[in-house]
Amino acid sequence: MEKRELLDWLHETDERRLEELWRRADEVRRAEVGDEVHLRGLVEISNVCARECLYCGVRAGNAEIDRYRMSADEILACARKAVDFGYGTTVLQSGEDPKLTGPWVADLIHRIKAETGLAVTLSLGERSRKDWEMWKAAGADRYLLRFETSNRELFERIHPAVCGGKPAERIAMLRELRGIGFEVGSGVMIGIPGQSYEDLANDIELFAELDLDMIGVGPYLPHPETPMGRGECPALPTDQQVPNSEQMTYKTVALTRLACPRTNIPSTTALATVNRESGRELGLQRGANIVMPNLTPPEYRCKYEIYPAKACLHETAEHCRGCLERRILSLGRTVGGGRGDSRNWQSRQGDKAASPSLKAEGNTNG
């Protein structure tokens, strides 16, 4: 899709015309990744964070939240629950917590793989190449790191470097993670003050350029204990500023599916938060094929407040599982079995396996 067409869709607000976009995204989703919805059991393992991201409620400077770090045994218990519930993957997410040391996490991954055989996805922020290599060697399968916005100047403003350090190079990091052998996921927030339509169109083009395996997008939701949530970050004039709306999120999900037909796209909790009734379902009908039910024990879950009034805050893991399964079946879709690796990744593996023989063939042909 040309940039002009992307921008036209991002500006489109007529629900009747948008039906066409929803229909196209849903068709491509069905043709390329099928009707299965894969479930990833999310465990928010620590809300300790060394960073000061202007948008995020668990930023170091927020003195209003209780900090926690789950023990390895507590995390293992959640992973066992994922198995009981039939999920193929567990996702471990946290703030940038220096006490989650490389070896500690590696040991945890070993234990989860040995006991459960689940696919393990990590979302632990910016770490050293050494840690990432150690975690891959320990058996981790995937890494999620959103680049948040492709507008570099905006990113550096909202995601300050850790004191005295260099600005984060998340896009370079995504390439590095791919090189280490991870299935790689990324994504952006929609409607960050200062984010233009042009920026969001660039984000979608960058998703395709990076050939990502997973792409998570959700509306930016203001948290009152953050500088951005207090209104300290200037918005653009209304004709340029992307709104953090539900409709803009569906448009981005749908356009992302068209730009990256074989990637995995979650219908995110942030989307379910802006529309509790049917946000998840509408995401799944407009391009998404993944849901991430929360497995974090309730006493910790309420403390992992990256934005306020998160959907499913007070539910038990059992309740989330039943509720999501019902929602998926009500759409005539099925719950995916197995690991739910990205089709992108699978074809890349196939190419790798095929390349030696192609080379051999090339040689015979002189």
Binding site for ligand SAH (CB under 6 A): 55-56, 93, 95-96, 123, 125, 145-146, 148, 189, 218, 220-221, 223, 270, 306-307
Residue 195 makes CB contacts below 8 A (sequence gap 6+) with 149, 151, 154, 189, 236, 241, 242
Residue nearer to ligand SAH on the CB measure, 21 or 221: 221
Q: Tell me which DSSP letter residue 168 carries.
A: P
Nearest residue (CB) to ligand SAH, 85 versus 220: 220
CB 339 within 8 A of CB 256: no
Cα separation, 317 vs 297, in Å, equals: 8
d(CA 297, CA 154): 35
144: Cα within 13 Å, side-chain hemisphere = 23
By beta-carbon proximity to ligand SAH, the closer residue of 60 and 72 is 60
CB 146, CB 216: distance < 8 Å: yes
Q: Is 276 left (phi over 0), alpha (psi -120 to 50) or beta?
A: alpha
Of residues 28 and 233, the one with the C-beta less far from ligand SAH: 233
Q: 43: part of which helix (H) or strand (E)?
A: strand 36-46
Q: Least distance (Å) from ligand SAH to the CB of residue 181?
A: 19
Closest approach of ligand SAH to the CB of residue 355, in Å: 32
Nearest-approach distance from CB 78 to ligand SAH, in angstroms: 17
Give the Cα separation of 225 and 206 in Å (integer).
Answer: 31
Rounded to a whole number of angstroms, the minimum distance from the CB of residue 318 to ligand SAH is: 24
CB of 256 to ligand SAH, least distance (A): 14
Q: Hey, what amino acid is at 231?
A: G
Residues facing 119 on adjacent strands: 89
- Is 163:142 a contact under the CB 8 Å cutoff? no
Nearer to ligand SAH, 221 or 253 (CB): 221
Residues 270 and 245 sit within 8 Å (Cβ to Cβ): no
Q: How far is the CB of 153 from ligand SAH (least distance, A)?
A: 18
Phi, psi values for residue 316, rounded to 5°? -85, 165
Please say which residue, 46 or 285, places its beta carbon nearer to ligand SAH. 46
Identify which of residues 55 and 155 has a Cβ nearer to ligand SAH in the complex.
55
Least distance to ligand SAH, CB of residue 254, Å:
19
CB nearer to ligand SAH: pick between 120 and 145: 145
Minimum CB separation of residue 361 from ligand SAH in Å reads 42
Instruction: Compute the distance between CA of residue 299 and CA of residue 317 in angstroms, rounded to an integer.
Output: 12
